Amino acid sequence: MQKRTLGKNGLEVSAIGLGCMGMSFGYGPASDKREMTALIRQAVERGVTFFDTAEVYGPFTNEELVGEALAPFKGKVSIATKFGFRIENGKQAGTDSRPEHIRQVAEASLKRLKVEVIDLLYQHRVDPKVPIEDVAGTVKDLIREGKVKYFGLSEAGVQTIRRAHAVQPVTTVQNEYSLWWRQPEGELLPALEELGIGLVTFSPLGRGFLAGRFDANSQFGSSDIRSTLPRFTPEALQANQALTALVGEFAKRKGTTPARIALAWLLARKPWIVPIPGTRKLERLEENLGTAELELGPEDILAIDSAVAKITLLGGRYPEEVEKTTGL
């Protein structure tokens, strides 16, 4: 597996990481812990050195799973986790990036992840009540104390990133970015390029949509976040088939799969982009990791981009009130 470098201070990770959220949270009931432990270890065997989790996934259970699964590989892989929510009665209850809370969460994450240092610590969502300088300053202190190696922000706007970066260099930003969510191309990508900050792209497969898995008849249970997302209503899934058809067409032409086209498109955009697709299945993990061998040339990217530009997608990626909290 090829490696990529995130940020200017030398975080080197596999070109494709593994998003672990869906193993415990977000896409239906949690999967069997033993099976997921085996899957995470199979990812390591296949060259993945970058794993993504967060305090709020579960909450807590996903960090525990990742910590246990990766315990035998301490020092050989990088684990990214996130703070930034208040958790009440086992549920996310608004943002909380007060310095004392960041410290408490970092200590608890260290224990759950079974590590002495958190490789990459993100603020999960910008907290409108806490100046970003205070957040960056707290993470800076944690880095000085040897409890954290690298600092990241998730779904932060460009001004916030600049302000944070001035206090503590940001190694990577984690945002949604894919063939069906291209907003980062406006302001974010140029700013990251200018500042030398990496981009980790979450939901790079459009939560499975870009792999061609869903249509108007797809059903999502109440513990599946997709049941609440405007882009997963039957109308949106129907209308947006134009995009899956296009990706499917390119895949056929290249002798590969739609998921690999979606991931290769991201890898081709910038050498400092690292997608972190999530899966609970070995065959999909292997499919996704196989993307590293598929190279899309400039003419492929141009062809995909100009075809995608003709498609108008229906439905927001998040409900409006949630979108407002992203800080973009």
Q: Does residue 208 interact with ligand NAP by CB under 6 A?
A: yes
Q: Does residue 19 interact with ligand NAP by CB under 6 A?
A: yes
Q: Does residue 22 interact with ligand NAP by CB under 6 A?
A: yes
Q: Which stretch binds ligand NAP (CB under 6 A): 14-22, 98-106, 110-118, 186-194?
A: 14-22
Rounded distance between C-alpha atoms, residue 127 and residue 283, angstroms: 38
From the list 253, 232, 236, the residue with the least C-alpha distance to 304 is: 253
Residue numbers 253-272 binding ligand NAP by CB under 6 A: 259
In the stretch 183-202, what mask flags binding to ligand NAP with x, by CB under 6 A? -------------------x
Tokens at residue 253, please? 């032409």
Residue numbers 60-99 binding ligand NAP by CB under 6 A: none
Q: Which stretch binds ligand NAP (CB under 6 A): 20-28, 67-75, 106-114, 185-193?
A: 20-28
In the stretch 143-182, what mask flags binding to ligand NAP with x, by CB under 6 A? -----------xx------------------x--------
**Contact criterion met (CB below 8 Å) for 132 and 162:** no
Q: Which of 58, 152, 277, 327 binds ligand NAP (CB under 6 A)?
A: 277
Q: Does residue 101 interact with ligand NAP by CB under 6 A?
A: no
From the list 161, 200, 248, 164, the residue with the least C-alpha distance to 80 is: 200
Q: Is the dihedral of CA 147, 150, 156, 160 positive or negative?
A: positive
Q: Which of 179, 188, 211, 274 binds ligand NAP (CB under 6 A)?
A: 211
Q: Which stretch binds ligand NAP (CB under 6 A): 15-23, 35-43, 94-102, 188-196?
A: 15-23
Q: Is residue 57 flagged as an active site residue?
A: yes
Contact residues for ligand NAP (CB under 6 A)? 19-22, 27, 52, 154-155, 174, 202-208, 211, 213, 259, 276-281, 284, 287-288
